[in-house]
Structure 1
Amino acid sequence: MLAILYAIISGISMTLQGVFNTKLEEKVGTLETNVIVQGTALIVTLIIVMFFGKGSFKNVKDVNKIYLLGGVLGVIIIFTVMRSIGAMGATCGIAIILVAQLASAGVVDAFGLFGVEKISFHLREFIGIAIMI
């Protein structure tokens, strides 16, 4: 149940972030907005880690190096979300983003990419995805 709540909060937050970033971009520029967004995220996360962090940065050397591209993907995500929402509005832009997320998540799950456990897709799953789209 908690996972569902996290997903709902994530969806709402992603929508708000996309709209806020797009409005910020109009005043300060695309790349500058990306720096502000990533910078504030870094500061907030560092504060949270100082008080609640239980992991260890030392373990990063043991991680598959491709997983370190999450920050690069964040830059791409922020840029492309701002551009799509700016051009199409929040509803249309996010609708297309959701379809792309569903399709790419399905590929990752179906083929077990990046160390994710492989999930079998049957007609029921394809129908569910089609209904969501």
Structure 2
Amino acid sequence: MTQHAIIMTLAGIGIPLLAALNAALGQRIGSPAAAATVLFVVAFASCAIVMMMTGTGALSRLSLAPKHLFLGGVLVAFYVLSITWIAPVFGIGNAIFFVLLGQLVSAGVIDHFGLFGARLSPMTGTRAFGIALMAAGVFFTQKVQAPPPVL
């Protein structure tokens, strides 16, 4: 397993943890929006520290970036707000299941067309089957079994 795969696996582990922690914070303080705001303040401070340690020169090139690339911030805010509101009532597993399903579909489309500068990876039958198999696996991990009948 490469270093990149390990880092991304850890990031994947973090997504349900983020959902559970922020959902619990939102319930504890009575406001999912306030919990999401706190999350972003902590995230901003963490990223700012890393940026200061690694160099701030990239900030001077922000004006050169296409404006549509800033939509990532809107998307992460949508994710955090929606998971913070929905996870407590829908369940962490169910919420993450649908997040994973959306990720599988959108990643396949982005890679197939090489959108946003992504490495082009055409959707072959084998790749489509693999994505479908992953989606089925995620589905089956969340499928609720009926309790056995009481005799």
TM-score under structure 1 normalisation? Answer: 0.92
1:35-80 deviations in Å (ceiling 9; x for gaps): 1010011111111211223642011111111111222212101011
Partners of 2:43 and 2:3 in 1: CA distance: 23
- Determine if the alignment matches structure 1 residue 46 to structure 2 residue 70: no
**What secondary structure does 1:56 align onto?**
helix
Partners of 2:45 and 2:56 in 1: CA distance: 18
Partners of 1:15 and 1:99 in 2: CA distance: 14
Q: Which residue of 2 aligns with 1:57?
A: 59
One-letter amino acid of the structure 2 residue matched with residue 113 of structure 1: L
Q: Name which of 19, 34, 37 aligns with 2:36.
A: 34
Q: How many residues are matched?
A: 133
Which portions of structure 1, spanning 4 or more consecutive aligned residues, are displaced by more than 3 angstroms? none
Partners of 1:98 and 1:25 in 2: CA distance: 22
Structural RMSD (CA) = 1.4
Q: CA deviation at 1:82?
A: 1.7
- Determine if the alignment matches structure 1 residue 20 to structure 2 residue 25: no
Q: Which residue of 2 aligns with 1:130?
A: 132
Q: CA deviation at 1:118?
A: 2.7
Asked whether the 8 Å contact 2:36–2:84 carries over to 1, the reply is no
Partners of 1:124 and 1:37 in 2: CA distance: 39
**What secondary structure does 1:22 align onto?**
helix
Rg larger for = 2
- Tell me whether 36-45 or 104-113 shows the greater mean CA deviation: 104-113
The percent of aligned pairs where both chains have the same amino acid is: 26
Q: Which residue of 1 aligns with 2:123?
A: 121
Partners of 2:101 and 2:129 in 1: CA distance: 14
**What secondary structure does 1:120 align onto?**
coil
